[in-house]
Structure 1
Amino acid sequence: MRLFIIPPIPKLSLRLVLIVPFLLQITIAFGLTGWLSYRNRTRAMNDLATQLQVEVSNRIKQEMNTYLETPHLINQINVDAINQGLISIDNIPALERYLWTQLQQFPTASYIGMGMENGDYIGAGRYDDGSIEFDILADSTNRQLEKWLTDDQGNRTELVSSRDNYDPRVRPWYLVAVEAGKPVWSEIYGYFGSQALVVSANRPINDPEGNLLGVASSDLTLKRISEFLGTLEIGKTGQTFIVERNGYLVGTSTLEKTFITDEENRDTERILAAESSDIMTRETARYLANKLAYISQIDNHDRLSFYASSRREFVQVTPMIDPRGIDWLIVVVVPEADFMEQIHENTRITILLFMMALVLAIILGILTARWISEPILRLSEASSAIASGARNATASAELNQKVKVEKIRELGMLSESFNMMIQNLRDSFIALENTNRELEQRVLERTAALLQEKERSEELLLNVLPKPIADQLKANKKAIASAIEEVTILFADIVGFTPLSARMNPIELVSLLNEMFSIFDNLAEKHKLEKIKTIGDAYMVVGGLPLPQDNHAEAIADMALEMQAAMKQFQGSYLVGSESFQIRIGINTGAVVAGVIGIKKFIYDLWGDAVNIASRMESSGTPGSIQVTEETYNRLKKNYIFKERGPIPVKGKGQMTTYWLLGKKPVVDISS
């Protein structure tokens, strides 16, 4: 009789106890439900993708038809109005009002213009904020293209710019209309001197005898097309874009730029869809480019699909053709993943089967949980204590815990790993606290340094420009200029300084000039006047700007008298032989234009006839005297002492009556 010794059953590992039962149940459950869901998913996704893409394509095509028809409708209206004598191409003011009204009536039009065969041009464009500007080129503008801002009534308000060398007859939109002799679209091109791409609807203007008078044009910016595409909802991550058949982007729902700007030449270079910065647009365009022969023959809706980055993409291609010169393709791209939510029925079946498997897993889990509940509970309590300490900012105290190493192999390894993790966390926590303190100190030091540099920059800017102008320039980098109805300008020149400079060391000469002008600067600040500039030994100051000043003429007069007094202290100190130097001052009151122009080495300056006359008053005066115009004299004669010089010849003005400012009348105390 043989005895069979049953070998001892080896201890089961935790991995086998937990994984095998759950794996068996989940495999059975998902094996059944997966087959059912897969059978219906493909059909549902294909149907839904097709319906969505066709609907979006039709909507885009319908909207684009409206966009593209509007510019030609505007041109037809304008040509009919000219042929019927309702408007005249020679009446610029009437054309301005007419085009301004048209932009109000056609909100999708970005620009409406007319170029004449004689070189004249009138156009009205809409900015992004809704404001309207006029572009005018005629004899009245000295054959320069002037750009004017308008108010909400269509009246000119401000001249923005003026440029030479603009001829509408050589622009692409004009040439294509003249060549076609009928309504036609231009190629997509960049606006003259700007950074925007447009496509122009153009129509020749002919007189009753058929002679060409000019071209009517209405623009549609590609930005408006992209903005419309961006409003469409195409699944979750679907996109749409429009391309020409040659592959160049027209518009895209991602709102990315469809061109590259050459800042130096202010020119634009269009972007191929296959070189787009958006990965979905780029991959779709490259896929279509590989089917170039097929794409060139598309004349109706066509649906394709391809894989990009292991992800399937559904593509709907719809032609957008206008016989007047438009041949575009509307491309709608939707990832297959966007339609996963549409198969809820399969999901419900999957959840039901999963719940059944879960109930069975719970029963088995209860049995196995008895073996491992207590050691896992201890690990859980230790973890909770650490987490609670982290929430209450006391993690360093809770990290001193240590759990007991269990006899079960897997739990023992887990306990050892847990203890090692706590030790690592403790070390990391200490290192992190030290690093945080160092970083906070560095941030404080860097912030203080940045604030100090900012204050220095502000001080330097205020030494160059008046504070209101500096604030305006920081807010708006365009040219700043404003007309002031009345200011008083003073020009001063050091008489005798030139022969003195020939006898002095250059360093001493600059020191002397700096001492004089520093006194003048203090006087300008005392009387709240604005120093404009110094040129050599000449000094220019103005009262009444950039902020209004009622007593600007009196302040200038007081400064002029004090400048004379200040110069007397130099008479005895800087004599060279029998020569000395005196100050010659000229003053005038009138209107000026003041502002800052250019983009480098800013200077606040004045322009206008009043400035020239003030300069003539100084240059035609005598040393040690203050010569003023009749305008300044009328402002000051009640409170200041004058002597009439009489008529003198002034360059560019003929004979002018001028006066010598001698001093200030004493104040009469009427109380006594």
Structure 2
Amino acid sequence: MKSIPLRWLIVTPFVILALIAGITMYLVSTVTISNIASRVGIQYIKEVEGRIYDRVQGFMGPLSDIVEINLNAFSHRPELLDDLVPLTNRFYEQAIPYNQMTFISMATVDGRYLASAQDPIKRGQHSIAANFINEPLTMEGYHYDPMHFIGSKIVEDDSFIYDPRTRPFYQDAIKANTVAWSNIHPYYGYPTLGIGLSAPIYSQKGELLGVTATSIALVELDKYLKSLELVDGAYLFLAEENGSLIASSEQSELFKTADGVTSRVGLNNHPNTVLQLASHSLVAGTHKINVEGQEYLYYVKPITLKYDKKWLIGILIPSAYHKSVLAGYTQSTVIITLVLFICIGLIGSLLAWYIGSPIQILNQAANAKDIKSIQQLPDPLSKIREINSLSQGLSSMADNLFDIMQHLEKKLLKGPRSCKEKRIICLRMR
């Protein structure tokens, strides 16, 4: 059987253990860092989502608040609807704090209509719309007058026949028999979307009095998503449950008009491939999508508004972002693993040298075929108790053997008394 050097016997287990420990540490660290990186990405997404969620809730809140205030007032005081002109001041003051509010209106069961109107794009430009001032069911625009409520007619505004009872906001509220949302629609002549909320008004006897409504322009939500500072390659969108876009971080249109027909842009027909693929997963939660070799962490969060209206917040960030955040830690782990491997190997080598060197000295002395080489071993030979005990034992045995040899030599020098005794001594000497 082939013998193995003591030094290798000691060093080899250390190297193997160091290798196992290093590989284990690297794998565990890699998995841990990967999990942490994913959590970093999710935490970033949730932070952005929280900001969007709060902004949307705060933006849309006044819409339902004002409807509820007017609904409660007109239901309990139906006499307010006998003369709509004084309501001008009420609607105007309600609209002043909210630049996004485009219409606050009242349509009576006999067809009269009054609204505080605001330009969807040019904020702060208020006017009054009414269809009963000069001619019944004839819509005209007026300046607001703090004293008389309805001021002079706006010359540049055209007059046209307008019966609110035929309009969707009125019919939707009557059909639902409760507060109802309108469909999101483009404002005529303006590059923005809007949405309305309307409520039927009944007297205490259950008689229909009319419909009060509010409308809001959604352009500010689109501007807000575009204004958010995101990591490179990230995307945000706000969409309806069917995937129709309300706002996005992309510089693209939200609706198109072709041959006089206006159509909404949805995720599924968006020019951006990433958003197209996002349309396949509109279920709340975290997803991963791959676009031409680029992986994205995709998060969908539903946002519920009052009266059963639900929208979706979508956030997509490239996985390279949150992986690069901890790339330095991965490199540090590799370096630490290598240093650990080298240190364990060096410790094993030093330990092998510390144990093996005195044993090597003993081995050389034992194989020298000279008793003096054993007698001349240093005392102590090593600080290791067992090796030092072995050295002392060999030295003691060598001293005893040396004494026996000297005693035999003296007897030989005195001469044997017979040939038989001489032969015995010679044999012993051999």
TM-score, normalized by the shorter chain, greater than 0.5: yes
Structure 1 SS opposite 2:96: helix
* Rg comparison, structure with higher value: 2
Structure 2 SS opposite 1:105: coil
Superposed, which structure 2 residues align to 1:343-362 within 5 Å? 343=326, 345-346=328-329, 349=332
Taking the aligned partners of 1:94 and 1:107, their CA distance within structure 2 comes to 22
Q: Contact 2:244 / 2:267 at 8 angstroms: preserved in 1? A: yes
Q: CA deviation at 1:156?
A: 4.1
Counting aligned pairs with the same residue, the percent is 21
Aligned pair partner of 2:115 in 87, 109, 123: 123
Cα shift readout 1:459-500 (whole Å, capped 9, x = no counterpart)? xxxxxxxxxxxxxxxxxxxxxxxxxxxxxxxxxxxxxxxxxx
Amino acid at match of 2:51: R
Q: CA deviation at 1:49?
A: 1.2
Q: Contact 1:136 / 1:147 at 8 angstroms: preserved in 2? A: yes
Structure 2 SS opposite 1:124: strand
Question: Which residue of the partner structure matches residue 277 of structure 2?
Answer: 283
Question: Which residue of the partner structure matches residue 247 of structure 1?
Answer: 243
1:228 to 1:142, Cα distance in 2 relative to 1, 3 A: same
1:80 to 1:126, Cα distance in 2 relative to 1, 3 A: same
Question: Which residue of the partner structure matches residue 167 of structure 1?
Answer: 163
Q: Contact 1:52 / 1:234 at 8 angstroms: preserved in 2? A: no
Question: Which residue of the partner structure matches residue 134 of structure 1?
Answer: 128
Question: Which residue of the partner structure matches residue 324 of structure 1?
Answer: 307
Taking the aligned partners of 1:317 and 1:163, their CA distance within structure 2 comes to 46
1:83 to 1:35, Cα distance in 2 relative to 1, 3 A: closer
Aligned pair partner of 2:185 in 184, 189, 197: 189
1:228 to 1:86, Cα distance in 2 relative to 1, 3 A: farther
Question: Which residue of the partner structure matches residue 295 of structure 2?
Answer: 312
Asked if 1:211 is matched to 2:200, the reply is no
1:260 to 1:148, Cα distance in 2 relative to 1, 3 A: farther
Q: Contact 2:104 / 2:215 at 8 angstroms: preserved in 1? A: yes
1:177 to 1:92, Cα distance in 2 relative to 1, 3 A: same
Q: Contact 1:314 / 1:335 at 8 angstroms: preserved in 2? A: yes
Q: CA deviation at 1:340?
A: 4.4
Q: CA deviation at 1:238?
A: 1.9
Q: CA deviation at 1:344?
A: 5.7
Cα shift readout 1:598-634 (whole Å, capped 9, x = no counterpart)? xxxxxxxxxxxxxxxxxxxxxxxxxxxxxxxxxxxxx
Name the stretch that deviates more: 39-48 or 49-58.
39-48
Taking the aligned partners of 1:70 and 1:90, their CA distance within structure 2 comes to 26
Cα RMSD after superposing both structures? 3.4
Asked if 1:65 is matched to 2:57, the reply is yes
Count matched residues: 310
1:346 to 1:36, Cα distance in 2 relative to 1, 3 A: farther
Taking the aligned partners of 2:192 and 2:220, their CA distance within structure 1 comes to 11
Q: CA deviation at 1:132?
A: 1.3
Taking the aligned partners of 1:308 and 1:342, their CA distance within structure 2 comes to 21
Taking the aligned partners of 1:236 and 1:90, their CA distance within structure 2 comes to 58
Amino acid at match of 2:86: A
Q: Contact 2:137 / 2:163 at 8 angstroms: preserved in 1? A: no
Structure 1 SS opposite 2:195: strand
Question: Which residue of the partner structure matches residue 257 of structure 1?
Answer: 253
Taking the aligned partners of 2:327 and 2:103, their CA distance within structure 1 comes to 49
Amino acid at match of 1:253: S
Question: Which residue of the partner structure matches residue 547 of structure 1?
Answer: none
Superposed, which structure 2 residues align to 1:594-633 within 5 Å? none
Q: CA deviation at 1:151?
A: 8.2
1:79 to 1:246, Cα distance in 2 relative to 1, 3 A: same
Taking the aligned partners of 1:313 and 1:329, their CA distance within structure 2 comes to 18
Taking the aligned partners of 1:156 and 1:175, their CA distance within structure 2 comes to 30
Question: 5+ unaligned residues in a row in structure 2: which ranges?
Answer: 1-25, 337-430
Q: CA deviation at 1:303?
A: 0.4
Structure 2 SS opposite 1:162: coil
Q: Contact 2:89 / 2:146 at 8 angstroms: preserved in 1? A: no
Name the stretch that deviates more: 196-205 or 141-150.
141-150
Structure 1 SS opposite 2:205: coil
Taking the aligned partners of 1:152 and 1:94, their CA distance within structure 2 comes to 10
Q: CA deviation at 1:215?
A: 0.9
Taking the aligned partners of 1:259 and 1:149, their CA distance within structure 2 comes to 31
Amino acid at match of 2:180: V
Aligned pair partner of 2:318 in 335, 352, 375: 335
Cα shift readout 1:433-477 (whole Å, capped 9, x = no counterpart)? xxxxxxxxxxxxxxxxxxxxxxxxxxxxxxxxxxxxxxxxxxxxx
Taking the aligned partners of 1:76 and 1:148, their CA distance within structure 2 comes to 26
The two structures have a TM-score, normalised by structure 2, of 0.63
Question: Which residue of the partner structure matches residue 172 of structure 2?
Answer: 176
Q: CA deviation at 1:47?
A: 0.7
Superposed, which structure 2 residues align to 1:218-617 within 5 Å? 218-254=214-250, 256-262=252-258, 265=260, 268-285=262-279, 287-288=280-281, 295=282, 298=283, 301-322=284-305, 324-343=307-326, 345-346=328-329, 349=332
Taking the aligned partners of 1:37 and 1:322, their CA distance within structure 2 comes to 43
